[in-house]
Chain A
Amino acid sequence: MIEKSAERVSSLSIRLAGYLLVLFTLFTLSSCNRHNDSKGNGSKSRAAMDTTLVISMLGDADYLNPVIGATVTSSNIFGLIYPSLLQSEFDTTTGLMNYMALEKKLRAVTPGQGKKAPKGAIARSWRLSDDHKSLTYILRSDAFWDDGKPIVSADFKFSYQLYGNPVIASARQQYLAELVGADKGKVDFDKAIETPNDTTLIFRFYKPVPEQLALFHTSLTPLPAHRWKDVKPDEFRHSPLNLTPLGAGPYKLKSWQQQQEILLVSSRKSNLPKPGNIPAISFKVVPDYTVRVTQLQTGTVDVVENIKPEDFTALLKANRQIDIKTVGLRVYDYVGWSNIDQAEYRKNGTFKPHPLFGSARVRVALTNAIDRQAIIDGYLKQYGVICNNDISPSLKWAYNNRITPHPYDPAKASALLKSEGWLPGPDGILQKNGKKFSFVLYTNAGNARRNYASVIIQQNLRAIGIDCKLDVQESNVFFESLQSGKLDAWMAGWSIGLEIDPLDVWGSDLKKSRFNFPGYRNPRVDELCELAKQKMDPVEAKPYWLEYQEILHRDQPITFLYWIKETQGFNKRIEGAELNISGTFYNVDDWRLRPSANIAQ
Chain B
Amino acid sequence: MLIYIFKRLLIAIPLIFGVLTLTFFIIRLAPGDPAAFFIQPGISPNVAEQIRAQYGLNDPLPVQYFKWLANVLQGDFGRSFSRAQQPVFDVIAEALPITLTIAILTLIANFTFGILIGIISAVRQNTFLDRFLTVTALFFYSMPEFWFALMMIILLALKFPFFPVSGLNEIGAESYGPLGFLLDRAWHLVLPVTVLSINGAAGIARYVRGSMLEVIRQDYIRTARAKGLSENVVIFKHALRNALLPVITLMGSALPFIFSGALFIEVIFAFPGMGRVTVEAIFARDYPLIIANTFISGSLIVMGNLFADVLYAVADPRIKL
Contacts and interface: CB of A to CB of B under 8 A. Distances in A.
Nearest to B172: A48
B52 to A, nearest CB: 9
B183 interface: yes
A284 B84 contact: no
Given A10-B124, A35-B187, A259 B276 contact: yes
Contacts of A476: 31-33, 36, 283, 285
Given A169-B50, A174-B42, A258 B94 contact: yes
Given A173-B44, A477-B31, A286 B166 contact: yes
B79 to A, nearest CB: 7
A575 B87 CA distance: 42
Contact of A291 (B85, B112, B166, B231): B166
A287 interface: yes
B231 to A, nearest CB: 3
Nearest to A295: B165
Contacts of B120: 10, 13-14, 17
Interface in B112-168: 112, 116-117, 119-120, 123-124, 129, 150, 153-154, 157-158, 161-162, 164-168
Interface stretch (B14-22, B63-71, B264-272): B264-272
A34 B180 contact: yes
User: Is chain B's binding surface mostly helix, strand, loop or mixed?
Assistant: helix
Contacts of A27: 186
A433 interface: no
A45 B150 CA distance: 28
B46 interface: yes
Interface residues of A, number: 75
A497 B43 CA distance: 11
A300 interface: yes
Contact of B150 (A1, A2, A290, A295): A290
Given A16-B116, A260-B168, A497-B41, A291 B285 contact: no
B165 A298 contact: yes
A522 interface: no
Interface in A502-544: 504-505, 514-515
Contact of A174 (B44, B79, B190, B268): B44
A6 B269 CA distance: 42
Contacts of B236: 9
Interface string B171-199: 11000100010011011001000000000
Contacts of B268: 288, 290-291
A17 B116 contact: yes
B86 interface: yes
A1 B276 CA distance: 54
Interface in B252-291: 267-270, 272, 276-277, 280, 283, 285
A481 B31 contact: yes
Nearest to A483: B39
Interface string A250-275: 00000000111100000000000000
Nearest to B154: A294
B218 interface: no
A52 interface: yes
Interface in A185-213: none
Contact of A297 (B39, B158, B166, B176): B158
A78 to B, nearest CB: 13
Contacts of B117: 17
B153 A291 contact: yes
Nearest to A261: B171
B315 interface: no
A481 B186 CA distance: 46
A9 B216 CA distance: 12
A291 B269 CA distance: 8
Interface string B69-87: 0000000000100111110
Contacts of A30: 183
A298 B32 contact: no
B50 A294 contact: no
Contact of A300 (B165, B184, B234): B165
Contact of A170 (B47, B116, B157): B47
A10 B123 contact: yes
A563 to B, nearest CB: 17
Interface of A: 1-2, 5-10, 12-14, 16-17, 20, 27-28, 30-32, 34-35, 38, 45, 48, 52, 54, 59-60, 62-63, 70, 166-167, 169-174, 177, 237-238, 242, 258-261, 282, 284-288, 290-291, 294-295, 297-298, 300, 474-477, 479-481, 483, 494, 497, 501, 504-505, 514-515
Q: Which 4 A-B pairs have the closest CB atoms?
A: A476-B32, A5-B231, A169-B50, A259-B272
Given A7-B124, A290-B153, A291-B153, 11 more contacts: A5-B225, A5-B234, A13-B116, A17-B116, A34-B183, A34-B187, A284-B167, A288-B166, A294-B153, A298-B165, A514-B39
6 contacts: A8-B231, A9-B234, A30-B183, A259-B276, A287-B276, A298-B161
